Chains A and B, each alone.
Chain A
Amino acid sequence: MKKIIATIIKESLRIVILASLLSSIGGIGLELIQKKLIAILPLLIVFPALNNMIGNFGTIISANFTTLLFTKQLHAKWKSKKLKELLHQLAITAFFSSILLATIANLIAYYKGFPLTLDVFLKVLLIVTICVSILVTLICLISITAGFYYYHLNEDPDNVLIALATSIADLGALIIFSVLIYLIF
């Protein structure tokens, strides 16, 4: 019993701490734009959802990718039909999800009494779309590369990939989100 627990902790602890550290560094950006974030309500509402959504893309690609690897459907190759199919589906979903997310966040803010204008709506939409496009591309590239790498090392990619993908998503989303808010608002 102790062996399995120790192995999971040993394989995961470093990457989880690293992931949290990266996100905390990203949190510095958030602390710097704290006033704008609290003043412009759709941004505060959209922030966890954006992080969650991008992290979810990372989890989808990682979980699907490791299942394809373990069930021998990929043969550890990039040019796999199943992998291309998965990436195509992710791209389409990412585009429509970002539009949906920005719209709902603006509506919630409006119903909470925020004075919403077309200008603010379009700016929030722009920030969300740019963030999602950049990060989904980045996460896909890094997750698959790292997945093949750990698979070839005979290590379980499940212990590393999710943490890696979600940390890239979090850090990237926080940095890009903060920079875009700083530039656009």
Chain B
Amino acid sequence: MGKKEILKKRNKKRAKTLEHKRKIKSFEEIIFSQAFSIIGGLTAGTLLAIYTDRILLIPGLFILLPGFLEMGNAISGSLSARISSKLHLRELTHSILIKNIIASFVLIILSSISLGAITYLLSRFIFGIDNLRLILIPIVAAVISGIILLPLTSKITITLYHHHEDPDNLIGASSTTLGDIINIGAILLAITILL
């Protein structure tokens, strides 16, 4: 067997080993991200279980809650995905990052206004609950959440990118987990402020 063939065979074996290691690492990251997501979700659920009495003070809040969580996760998830794509393409600058955060903040405020209106209308016409606080709660909560969540999501995305080969598996978990905890906290705080 020639030297070239031996080298070729060795390189092939090495490539196979590297591919196998990459697969395992990616799998580990997905498992880790799900574990992180479960822990975060359970923390949010436990918060709900502890403050059930406060939630029951606002009739119709169960209609608002999933929409608000969804809105926060969608916006912070998109923000981190955009930052991640820019990082992969090596196009992320400070200016682009700031623009993305501002756009996400405007989005979260605009969406919370429409979410409040939708929730109010749904609870008014389906359950006969006439509670104007249902419009104000998501707006106040969105301001609180936006100030904390968006810069934090960006920072975590960039940190994960610099410390992991494939951050896509962890970015989603970190943004939705943080999103759920911060958003439930923001809603509870908004209820306290507005009651």
Choose one: A20, A108, A166; the contact of B42 (CB below 8 Å).
A108
A residues less than 8 Å from B63 (CB atoms): 24, 27-28, 30-31
Q: Please, how many angstroms separate the alpha-carbon atoms of A166 and B78 in the complex?
A: 10
Is B151 interfacial (CB 8 A cutoff)? no
Q: Please, how many angstroms separate the alpha-carbon atoms of A159 and B38 in the complex?
A: 25
Is B115 interfacial (CB 8 A cutoff)? yes
Q: What is the interface residue range for chain A against chain B?
A: 35 or more
Q: How many residues of B contact A (CB 8 A)?
A: 73
Choose one: B66, B85, B173; the contact of A56 (CB below 8 Å).
B173
Give the nearest-CB partner of A157 in chain B: B81
Is B88 interfacial (CB 8 A cutoff)? yes
Q: 27 A-B Cβ contacts within 8 A?
A: A5-B99, A5-B103, A9-B107, A16-B71, A16-B107, A16-B111, A17-B110, A20-B111, A21-B118, A22-B70, A24-B115, A24-B122, A27-B65, A45-B46, A47-B45, A48-B69, A48-B180, A49-B45, A62-B81, A63-B81, A67-B88, A71-B88, A89-B30, A97-B34, A105-B42, A108-B46, A158-B81
Extra contacts besides A4-B99, A59-B175 (11): CB < 8 Å: A5-B106, A12-B78, A24-B64, A28-B122, A51-B66, A56-B33, A63-B168, A64-B169, A89-B30, A96-B31, A104-B42
List the interface of chain B (C-beta within 8 A of A): 23, 26-27, 30-31, 33-35, 37-38, 40-42, 44-46, 48-49, 52, 56, 60, 62-71, 73-75, 77-78, 80-82, 84-85, 88-89, 95-96, 99-100, 102-104, 106-107, 110-111, 114-115, 118-119, 122-123, 126-127, 166, 168-169, 171-173, 175-177, 180, 184
